[in-house]
Amino acid sequence: MTGESALPGERDGDGAEPAPAPEVLALAKVVAKLRAEVSTLEGAASTTAVVERAAGALMAREGLSAEEAYETLLQRATRRGRTLLEECWITLGQVRSRTAPPPQAPAQTGPPSQEALSAFSTDRYLTGTGRSGGHRTILARLADGLAGAGNPHEIAELLRTVLGDAVGVDGVMIYAVGPAGSLKLAGHAGIDPALAEQWQHVPPLSGVAALEAIGGGRALWLEDPARDATRYHLIGDPPERWPTRAWLPVPGDRPVTAAVGFLRTRPDPFDTGTRSLLRRAVRLCADSLRFIGRSGAPGTRGEAETVQRILDAMSGTAVLLTPLRSETGEVQDYRIDAAAPGSVDVAGRRGKELVGRHVLETYPTVAGTALWEGYLDTLTTGTTYEGEPFVYEEVSVGVPRKSTYSVRATRLGDRLVVSWIRHDSQERESRRLEDMQRLGNLGWAGWNLATNTIAWSDQVYTIFDRDPALGPMPLDELPLHLVPEDLPVLGAAVELLLVEGTAIDQAFRITTADGVRHLRIVAEAQKDADGTPVEVHGFFQDLTALRDAELALRESERAVLVERGMLQAERALAARLQNALLPIPEQSMELAGLRIDVAYVPSESGVNVGGDWYSAIELPDSSALFVVGDVAGHGLDAVATMAQLRFTTKGMTITGSALPDVLSRLNTLLLHTAPDNHGATATVIMGVYRPEDRRLTWARAGHLPPLLIRGGAARFLPLPEGCLLGATFDSVYVQESLDLEPGDHLVLYTDGLVEEPGEDIGVGLARLAESARRLLEAGGSPALARTLAARRQDHRDDICVLDIHVPD
């Protein structure tokens, strides 16, 4: 918890550090400029030397002149996409990747090694006392030898001698960072002089393991020559001379400036114990190797580094403060030069992240308080300051919280060591933690690899459906509960966490009495001084409800896709049927002395085909039949009903039946086929035209009135009686007559041409009449139906229009 270890004394308010004097700033700029110039000159000198050496090598090997050798280097660099400096380094060192078949491992004769154990074997990760005792003896020998080692070569020889028998180290190489990011071989042992000369200078190229270890600040374990050769430039001729090798950065001040390489002729991988021993050995040599790179000479921060090493071993909160004085000797601020890992400020900076920061920068309101005066008194008199407990208010996640602290300050030379304790109860924090775990369905867990003790919160027992009386589940038991398919993935994550100490976030499944549960583990490792994981902590979270919701959503999406596919298939089939049953002529047609224009436009919304239809045919007595209908609904049912009505209307009219009788029979047809057509209804308007007297006899069943445009005026014909088809057996239908005149336009249509959602039908009819009148005035008579249909936009229903025109 941040609040448990934050340095007290910070309060809201602004604090400013006194600005440096102008002459100080000017001097700092001059120093920075001179340093940059020196660095540039060093890089240029190094580059020139490398180019001259590479050119000389070409001259001796290929008999070239100096100018030819330089041009050859330039050409090769250009052709291979390298810089000139890279090409020179490669020419000098003859650095190249080689591939070799993986060495055959000897048969296992003794007990299984750490690497041979299961990924879920507890014994594989425990830091046992027996092995540690053996390591202490080896490290003691190394420590005794370091007292007499005066240079990196002697340190390399010491490492090879001490570690050779213990873990099979055959060669040691110590590299330091040189100018322009290159590497210099500072010391070696067990390496041929010719090979050492070849690898004396290594350019800042990708694929150099030592450089990657230094840059990344992490150990590299190269245990498969065939695989490693595809990524790294392997040292050796041939490189499979050392099947396994390790590169470890030298710990210390950042940035890392040196790395130690251990080369072995053993083909077996580095087990956990060997890795731990090598890390401890490099850390033991760190003080002797830390300054062989470009970090400068030792001694400037020796005391602070000593204190830092002490604080690193502390579990509490403490910092080392160095006073910053003005020209008059007055303390203006304090700089944090060392910090224990448990020290955290309100901003969340922890441990060494605080080093280098000023107290007034991090805690600006501490100046002038009793705490500040106590610091000054301790610094002046050497008397230990132990302040009375005081209440300090901090803001965490926007919520103010009061805590009680006690602070202790002790003088160390001309510095202060400050520590503090928080006194207030943790009951509220524990309650909040329990609520968070319950609401998030997650629980924390920890495993101490030194004592093999496991701790679970109550919620973890609930997540694993485990009786708390059984205690936490050991790692060996976990595979018994895992879904088999998840064993390899979780095993790889466990190895990454417990061997390399890399944090993980992995999902997996377990089986319980209630079925399969989807869980998630998020964990990180706490390492000891040599980088070996010694404790693991994290949390388990039950994601079953979330996964069930995701599966339900996925099934719903799948069902929607299936339904959409079925609807689209139905629409395609209905459209094909409609096109076959209801062909739409592309041009106007002549019928009984009339010019007929037909338009059909499907709806622009939905995925179903509608039931709008028309008929325009010549009867046996040379008269003509005109019909426009609209079946309620969409899809195959509507198309089928439309086909029934269309063909029945044609058949009955051809036999000479009167229009009211035809409508009555259509109404009876729909009523008697109700179970098959799901109670379909329809509207129809139909008329028979006799050309000898230009008389149109018409009737309708619930349909909208025809529109007559005559002499520049448009009007709707009065509606005769006639209920929609399929509504009731008692429907009565009446026919009317109309004498058409030359120049008349009689428009029959479906409701899709006039209806708008939320609009009165009368408004749509008036709009249709006015549009048709204006079109005819503008000379649009040859394609009136198609023009009216095309002018409708965003229509939600099908449109069918039939224009009957009497030529002049």
Q: Give the list of residues 6+ apart from residue 7 with CB closer than 8 angstroms, or none.
A: 317, 319, 343, 345, 362, 363, 418, 420
The size of the chain, in residues, is 808
Which pLDDT band, with edges at 50, 70 and 90, does 36 fall under?
low
Q: Strand (E) positions, 44-200?
A: 171-177, 183-189
Cβ pair 801, 626 in contact under 8 A: no
pLDDT for 720: 94
Q: What does the DSSP assignment read for 100-113? A: -PPPPPPPP-SSPP
Q: Over range 550-564, report the average pLDDT.
A: 81
Residue range 189-235, pLDDT digits in tens? 999 999 999 899 888 888 899 999 988 888 999 999 889 988 998 99
CA–CA separation, 475 vs 497, rounded Å?
13
High-pLDDT (> 70) share of the chain, %? 78
Residue range 755-782, pLDDT digits in tens? 888 889 999 999 999 999 999 988 766 7
Pick from 804, 720, 702: nearest CA to 761: 702
Give the angle subtended at the CA of 287 by the CAs of 283 and 293, to the nearest 5°. 100
Cβ pair 257, 306 in contact under 8 A: no
pLDDT for 403: 66
CA–CA separation, 153 vs 687, rounded Å?
114
CB atoms within 10 A of CB 326: 11
Question: In this model, does residue 631 exceed pLDDT 80?
Answer: yes
Name the 3-class secondary structure at 563.
helix
pLDDT for 116: 53
Measured in degrees and rounded to the nearest 5, phi and psi for residue 516 equal -80, 135
For 689-700, b/e burial (b = at least 16 CB within 10 A) is: bebeebebbbbb
Which pLDDT band, with edges at 50, 70 and 90, does 707 fall under?
very high
**H/E element holding 416?**
strand 415-422
CB atoms within 10 A of CB 259: 28
CA–CA separation, 587 vs 783, rounded Å?
8
Give the mean pLDDT of the chain: 80
What are the angstrom distances between the C-alpha of 311 and each of 339, 341, 351, 352?
Answer: 6, 7, 9, 10
**H/E element holding 444?**
strand 442-448
Q: Over range 404-429, report the average pLDDT.
A: 77
220, β-bridge pairs: 247
Measured in degrees and rounded to the nearest 5, phi and psi for residue 698 equal -140, 160
- Tokens of residue 685, six digits: 């308007």
Q: Comparing 449 with 470, which gets the higher pLDDT?
A: 470
Q: Over range 418-446, report the average pLDDT.
A: 71
pLDDT for 81: 65
> 656 exposed, middle or buried (CB, 10 Å; 0-12, 13-18, 19+)?
exposed
pLDDT for 701: 94
CA–CA separation, 58 vs 354, rounded Å?
52
What are the angstrom distances between the C-alpha of 610 and each of 269, 604, 606, 748, 794?
Answer: 74, 11, 10, 17, 16
Pick from 662, 655, 593: nearest CA to 622: 593
Which pLDDT band, with edges at 50, 70 and 90, does 305 fall under?
confident
Name the 3-class secondary structure at 167.
helix
286, β-bridge pairs: none
Measured in degrees and rounded to the nearest 5, phi and psi for residue 333 equal -165, 175
Question: In this model, does residue 784 exceed pLDDT 70?
Answer: yes
Question: In this model, does residue 803 exceed pLDDT 90?
Answer: yes
Pick from 79, 666, 789: nearest CA to 87: 79
Q: Over range 733-737, report the average pLDDT.
A: 95
pLDDT for 394: 57
pTM of the model: 0.39
pLDDT for 265: 92
Q: Provide the phi-psi class of 244: left if phi over 0, else alpha when psi is between -120 and 50, else beta.
A: beta
Residue range 321-346, pLDDT digits in tens? 999 888 888 888 899 999 998 887 75
HSE (side-chain half, CA atoms, 13 Å) at 785:
28
- Tokens of residue 502, six digits: 């890399």
CA–CA separation, 709 vs 778, rounded Å?
14
Q: Comparing 360 with 754, which gets the higher pLDDT?
A: 754
